[in-house]
Amino acid sequence: MLFTFPDIRIGFLVGIGAGIPNYDGDDEQDVRLGDVVISSDRRNGGGVVYDFGKKLGDGSFETVYASGRPPRSLRTALARLETEYEMRENRTAEDALDQDQFRAKVISWISTIDFAARCHDSIGRRQTGTGLWLLNSIEFKKWLSSLNQTMFCPGIPRAGKTVMASIVIDHLLSTVPNTDVGVAYSCCAYKEQHKAKDLVAALLRQLVRQLPALPEAVKDLYMRHHQRKTLPRRHEFAEVLRYVASGFSQVFLIIDALDECREENCD
């Protein structure tokens, strides 16, 4: 071919990667039918004949290289390609790590309140089989299956409202799809003195954690206040909460013991 086409400077011999074993026992080097392989030996150069060689005493297989060394320009291009590929892999891993760290930082900045422990403690006090009357009630099923519904469950102090709320939360977390349905909850405790802004921020934190990536509205809120070293106000959290909630097909919000929040904090 080179005699027929004298202007060709470099020729590639392309074959099919069939019958090549799992080389060196490394899954990342397993060559399958249809793969495109560029082989290069760092010691001798040239192509690699995988099934031509000898087995050494330690069990390893030493291949014999039958082709000649490729031109220097080709070896240089291959080395540059390998370096760029390794650098791209490193940048991708670093970018993914940076994104995960940034996401965790923003979520912690939104709110440090974690109601999961209190909910877990409440559900732990539940007697087996109790609370089914609520889950099986017509009112609950209507609230569960309808949009834009509010179910108000009043009760006297110490009547078990927190346990009932925990039963509802546990039921939702174990039954609703976790792909496009959001579930967020909060519990007001008189001793902790939560403000309305704190509750909204805690709800926002939970919904954001259920998303694979930070919404742009959340990033904008963080960057705006991070640069000014300020904190968002309640209406800002509420606005972003509505934006994030709109990304779900349905969102369930459970608010327990709202009556224990002080009036001056529940504006």
pLDDT digit string, tens, across residues 138-177: 999 999 888 888 888 887 777 778 888 888 988 898 888 7
State the Cα–Cα distance between residues 266 and 263, nearest whole angstrom: 5
Helix and strand element counts for the chain (H, E): 8, 4
User: What pLDDT score does 11 carry?
Assistant: 65
Amino acid 111: pLDDT: 92
- Top pLDDT among 237 and 173 is at 237
Cα–Cα dist 206/227, whole Å: 24
Q: What is the pLDDT of residues 244-262, one digit of tens each?
A: 999 898 999 998 877 665 5
The contacts of residue 12 (CB under 8 Å, 6+ apart) are none
Is this prediction's pTM over 0.85?
no
In the predicted model, is pLDDT for residue 211 greater than 70? yes
Confidence (pLDDT) at 107: 93
Three-state secondary-structure class, residue 167: helix
Cβ atoms of 186 and 258 within 8 Å: the answer is no
Question: Percentage of residues in the chain with pLDDT exceeding 90?
Answer: 24
| Other CB atoms within 10 Å distance of the CB of residue 244 | 22
Rounded average pLDDT over 109-125? 78
